[in-house]
Structure 1
Amino acid sequence: MSLELNEKQRLKKGILLTIAYAFVMSVTGLAAKQVQTTVAVPVLVFWQSIFCVAVLYPQLRDRWQRRPIAIWKIHFLRSVGGFTGFLFYYWALNHIPLVEATLLRYCAPLCVPLVVFIMHKVAVPSARWVPLVIGFIGVACIIQPTPEHLNPWHLIGFLSAIGLAFSMVTTRMLSHQVSGQETMMIYFLISAGLSFCLVLIQGDSLLLPMASWPLVAVVCITLYVGMFLYTKAYTYAPASVVSPVSYAGVVFSGLWGWMVWGHVPDAFAYAGMALIFISILISTRIAKSQSA
């Protein structure tokens, strides 16, 4: 009885941590959308990466180990995936409502089977095609790919999901070989380097306007806290619980978009949200039944 109660308490903690993660990351999106009126996207990505490196470095001091080339290749793929995911997400925020950009980013679980196929040539199991089809119909409802409604920035937002899916797959590959802190540290170092290169190419300045400092600080702090909460949530609850509960971030983003910019999703957007949520719910249940 006590064991069952303890398991329920852990599950409850995992759900609460996931909801907290979803809320904190919605604040990240809110601040990122607002600050981009004065700060270029690569500059924002650079400073958030530098901040997280500064926080993580003391935690990893004197704990570095030599790694084979194979591990470094996975580190690089994971970092490029995470970097492009954030880059495309922030770019999309400039041109489409916060809730739609967030929703498209949350499509990452739908892209995971396709990424696995590309990386490992493992075919998508037949059982997974149903949620995939439902999910991509939901994406089509959001994007509305007709000549009258097609907005290329919706496609950019969807590319952020593909980048995030690559980082999810490669993070799992690294999880059995290196610590989560090392994975994050390498990711932010590479992200800082790639964003710095983009800053040079675009001719932007790394100097931040004084007025933008508070918002950039919010982006940096909430990003780190959100990732910490997400990692912590997985120690208490399985992915089959964390994945659908994290979808609460779409709700929070919708509320921010309505309160700050007056954005109200149309019927197609609501239908897309429902279909994507259902597809993620089905996918996580399939994954849970296969691992049982």
Structure 2
Amino acid sequence: MSDIYLVKKGIYATIAYAFIMSITAVAAKQVQTQIAVPVLVFWQSLFCIVILFPQMWGKWQRRPLHVIKAHFLRSLGGFAGFLFYYWALNHIPLVEASLLRSCAPLCVPFVVLIMHRMMIPKARWLPLLIGFIGVALVIKPTPEHFDPWHIVGFLSAVGLAFSMVTTRMLSSHVSGQETMLVYFAFSAVMSVPLALGQGESLALPSETWLWVLLVSITLYVGMHLYTLAYSYAPASVVSPVSYIGIVFAGFWGWVIWGHVPDWLAISGTVLIFLSILISARLNRK
């Protein structure tokens, strides 16, 4: 199987992943008008545990402490990332929440700096600067436009960046199924006290079942496609292509909620995409 064929498969898998995850975001934004965010996270995690548990039957092994720590950090980052993303979806347009979450690659160098004390190469500063100018345009940090929920949306990118770095750390020690199962188990456990602390019941109203099922199924399929994409093509290809998800999110936001991005959000999107393209070229080199 040629490298070109594999790269094409990676591109197709990435586009499919972006489309599926845009549906996840639509369903999550819709159902959160009826249930709290921790309740949604609990049920989507429980669904994925049911799917993944049989795949790991008889495959568990004793893990050294450094792998357990990496599992914890990956799960914490992923859990926080989804919480912040879903909270942001409740208060800002879908396309802006999705865009801010997609800024995770910009945060990865800083996560690596914190976790591994690895300095950011000088060549990386230009794309990072361009990307964060784009983030500032989306957030609109002026008194008349500033919305703190944009900061919450960006925090979802920070959580996702931690999960990306630690997933790579785990990839040489454990299977993808183990990483995902530990993460979903952690999310299910952590969401229970959050829900109860807000005075929410974990029981789902009957009219939300289909929405929660849609969120859970598309989330699992999306994560599977994401894993396939990275197995077929390098990150320098997958990362820029994945930004087509912003187009899908913008389409759904316009059709369903009538959200039309302003010129600041569009300019910020262009700058963020440009920064990812420059970073991808540096990766290839």
Instruction: Classify the TM-score, shorter chain.
Output: over 0.9
Which amino acid is the alignment partner of residue 170 of structure 2? L
Matched, 1:258 2:254: yes
Tell me the residue number matched to 2:166. 170
For structure 2, the residue ranges without an aligned partner over 5 or more in a row are none
Tell me the residue number matched to 2:39. 43
Q: 1:132-185: per-residue Cα shift (whole Å, max 9, x none)?
A: 000000000000111111100000000000000000000000001111110001
> Partners in 1 of 2:183 and 2:262 — Cα distance?
37
Matched, 1:124 2:140: no
Q: Give the counterpart of 2:215 among 194, 215, 219.
A: 219
Q: 1:192-231: per-residue Cα shift (whole Å, max 9, x none)?
A: 1111121121121001111111110110000000000010
Q: 1:62-119: per-residue Cα shift (whole Å, max 9, x none)?
A: 0000001211111000000000000000000000000000000000000000111111
Matched, 1:157 2:153: yes
Which amino acid is the alignment partner of residue 166 of structure 1? F
Q: Give the counterpart of 1:52 among 17, 34, 48.
A: 48
Tell me the residue number matched to 1:144. 140
Identity, % of aligned pairs? 67
Q: Give the counterpart of 1:279 among 271, 275, 280.
A: 275
Which amino acid is the alignment partner of residue 276 of structure 1? I
Which amino acid is the alignment partner of residue 35 of structure 2? V
Which amino acid is the alignment partner of residue 9 of structure 2? K
Question: Equivalences for 1:7-22 in 2 at 5 Å?
Answer: 7-22=3-18
Tell me the residue number matched to 1:269. 265
Range that drifts further, 268-277 or 194-203: 194-203
Q: How many residues align?
A: 285
> Partners in 1 of 2:138 and 2:12 — Cα distance?
28
> Partners in 2 of 1:113 and 1:148 — Cα distance?
32
Corresponding residue SS for 1:42: helix
Corresponding residue SS for 2:119: coil
Which amino acid is the alignment partner of residue 235 of structure 1? S
State the TM-score, normalizing by the size of structure 1. 0.96
> Partners in 1 of 2:64 and 2:109 — Cα distance?
27
> Partners in 2 of 1:101 and 1:47 — Cα distance?
22
For structure 1, the residue ranges without an aligned partner over 5 or more in a row are none
Matched, 1:230 2:235: no
> Partners in 2 of 1:139 and 1:235 — Cα distance?
29
Tell me the residue number matched to 2:87. 91
Q: Give the counterpart of 2:176 among 155, 174, 180.
A: 180
Q: Give the counterpart of 1:78 among 74, 81, 96.
A: 74
State the TM-score, normalizing by the size of structure 2. 0.99
Matched, 1:111 2:107: yes
Which amino acid is the alignment partner of residue 103 of structure 1? L
Shift of 1:39: 0.8
Shift of 1:285: 1.3
